[in-house]
Amino acid sequence: MVKLFRCEICGDPYIGESAPANCPFCGAHINYIKEASSAVAEFDVDLNDTDRANAERALQVELSNAAFYSCASGASEETEMKLLFKALGKVEAEHASIWRKILKLKEVPEVKESCHSSKAENLKESHDRETRAIEFYKKAAGEAADPRVKEIFEALVEIEIDHLDFSKD
């Protein structure tokens, strides 16, 4: 029987017979995916100065990474690399959308990023970007005053760690 699920990190719905192992939109692990009737995905939080600054930085990280992956997808000659970078770019854009909602922004600035012409260089940069994001998100989770902000940063750490598997040469 088909059911309606909702990711508690990004808030997006998913229709299926069972919850997916990862959110198809933001990559959150299955423990954040609940039947829609019981899922809680709150974005209206009161941010203190530290949480606001970390959310703003996270938004910029995600916008930058999404733009890099879009460039890398376009620069890739191999179909599999094009698809990988496209998928990673969509996930990073979804992460930016989470922070846009938390920050109560109607829109976000368009970001342009350059990439490399070689697969190896783009994979290395991907690894470096994901590693920096993980380090920042761990720090931000530790500093978070709001439990929802902490939950999002912790979930993003898990997701970005998953992305490291793709950037291995």
With beta carbons less than 8 A apart as the criterion, state whether 156 and 137 touch. Answer: yes
Number of domains the chain is built from: 2
Question: What span, in angstroms and rounded, lies between the C-alpha atoms of 89 and 59?
Answer: 14
Residue 154 has pLDDT above 70, yes or no: yes
Mean pLDDT of the region 24-53: 97
Domain of 31 in residue numbering reads as 3-35
In a domain, 41, yes or no: no
Q: Are residues 26 and 63 in the same domain?
A: no
Report the first-to-last Cα separation within the chain, whole angstroms: 41
* pTM score above 0.85: yes
Mean pLDDT of the region 5-13: 98
Q: Are residues 30 and 56 in the same domain?
A: no
Q: Which has the closest alpha carbon to 159: 40, 21, 18?
A: 21
In a domain, 44, yes or no: no
Q: Give the per-residue pLDDT at 107.
A: 92
In a domain, 40, yes or no: no
